[in-house]
Amino acid sequence: MPTESSIPVITIDGPSGSGKGTISRMLARELGFHFLDSGALYRLLAFAAQRRGIALDDESALAALSGELDIRFPADGDGDRVLLDGEDVGDAIRTEAAGSGASRVAVLPAVREALLDRQRRFRLVPGLVADGRDMGTVVFPDADAKIFLTASAEERARRRCKQLNEKRILVKFEDVLADIQVRDERDASRSVAPLQPAQDADLLDTSELDIPATIERLRDLVNNRLNP
Ligand code: C5P
């Protein structure tokens, strides 16, 4: 039985809209690795709290709630499905409101602490691709490859609008951009696990890269780290 730390982990951190979600899912599939969408955990927590009437700044109630939630990411399907107490809430947690709720609960140290173990339990053979903000710095500091994806706020807002429009959710570019800027600021300035690259991370700016080009660069970076 391999020890947990001998199971390879690739961490992909960066701000929202940097392309992390799509890219890390594709990489996980290509390598046959498990996938952790850590943002979904924060989104689920905020979503469940709102349903239960728990305020998004009630730190101890939120930390307790995070231990109770029955969360499952079914391996089948398109990867967007997330089950909360057996109910598929995949679409509901990916709204702008849920994202902003997630970034509010994510500033609370007791919440981050309470979610640590849950995240580390995703490290299973044959390996894990973990997508988030603090995967390489806090959750898996011993990761085999750490990538930090970035893109300009404008480019990220453009991508987010396109994604939402494809789901027939109509949004204004200015609103999405403003939301991204507020969230970036909150993620970067919080006292616990602020959004920043790990010291040993490889940085990849995707502003000028499409998905296939990003994947290709990522593959090279990961290969260099896994087979130095
Ligand atoms: O990645 P996603 O946009 O789904 O994340 C939603 C929010 O959850 C982020 O804006 C961030 O505040 C928070 N988050 C975090 N740490 C992570 C993943 C997400 O603080 N590892």
Do residues 21 and 159 touch, judged by C-beta distance below 8 A?
no
pLDDT tens, the chain, 228 aa long: 556 678 999 999 998 778 888 899 999 999 999 999 999 999 999 999 999 999 999 999 999 999 999 998 887 656 678 999 999 999 899 887 888 899 899 999 999 999 999 999 999 999 999 999 999 999 999 999 999 999 999 999 998 898 888 888 888 999 999 988 988 888 888 788 788 899 999 999 999 999 899 999 999 999 999 888
Nearest CA, atom 1, ligand 1: 39
Nearest CA, atom 12, ligand 1: 103
Tokens coding 54? 């728990």
Nearest-atom number in ligand 1 for the CA of 20 is 1
Ligand 1 in reach of 102 Cβ (< 6 A): yes
Ligand 1 in reach of 66 Cβ (< 6 A): no
pTM (2 decimals)? 0.90
Nearest CA, atom 4, ligand 1: 39
Ligand 1 in reach of 39 Cβ (< 6 A): yes
Q: State in Å: Cα 228 to ligand 1 middle.
A: 31
- Closest residue by Cα to residue 70 from 54, 89, 55, 57: 89
Residue ranges per structural domain of the chain: 8-218
Tokens coding 127? 């390996």
CA 99 to chain centre: 11
Ligand 1 in reach of 214 Cβ (< 6 A): no
Burial of 195 (0-12, 13-18, 19+ CB in 10 A): buried
CATH top class, domain 8-218: alpha beta
- The strand ranges marked E within the chain are 9-13, 34-37, 71-72, 83-84, 87-88, 128-132, 145-150, 202-205
